[in-house]
Amino acid sequence: MKLITVALVYLLLAGMWTRDVDSRSMHVSSSNCCYQFADKRIALKTIQCYKNTSSTCPYDAFILKLKKGRESCVLKTVRWVQDNFSKMKPCLPKTV
Ligand SMILES: *[C@@H]1O[C@H](CO)[C@@H](O)[C@H](O)[C@H]1NC(C)=O
Ligand SMILES: *[C@@H]1O[C@H](CO)[C@@H](O)[C@H](O)[C@H]1NC(C)=O
């Protein structure tokens, strides 16, 4: 009897924990979707590489990895991004 109670409590806590982690990661751009976009051009030399957002995202965008570990999002449809896309490098899966 006691063991079952302990197991139930443990499961409950585990469930709360994973839900907490999920809800927090939604606010981070590393969830692979973008909801806010840079309104200015980003100098190409500060862009280290780009990542595609996942196809399930509401916006079709790139995540740009910048120097100093920052990240920024740009829409794929933006002119300067399209014009300069060939100069950007994809992020290697390992560094993502
Ligand atoms: C991107 O391409 C456009 C058009 O070729 C150019 O005017 C612009 O300076 C380039 N660089 C950036 C960072 O937008
Ligand atoms: C990312 O998006 C670009 C432009 O839409 C496309 O050319 C490229 O194949 C995509 N890469 C991946 C890994 O989906």
Residue having the nearest C-alpha atom to atom 1 of ligand 2: 52
- Ligand 1 center from residue 84 Cα (angstroms): 6
- What is the pLDDT confidence band of residue 93, given thresholds at 50, 70 and 90? confident
Using the predicted structure, report yes or no on whether residue 30 has a pLDDT greater than 60. no
Domains, the chain, ordered by start: 29-87 (2.40.50.40)
Q: Is 32 in the pocket of ligand 2 (CB under 6 A)?
A: no
Section 49-59 average pLDDT: 92
CB contact at 8 A, 48 and 67:
yes
Using the predicted structure, report yes or no on whether residue 22 has a pLDDT greater than 60. no
- Ligand 1 center from residue 87 Cα (angstroms): 10
Q: Please count the other Cβ atoms lying within 10 Å of the Cβ belonging to residue 53.
A: 19
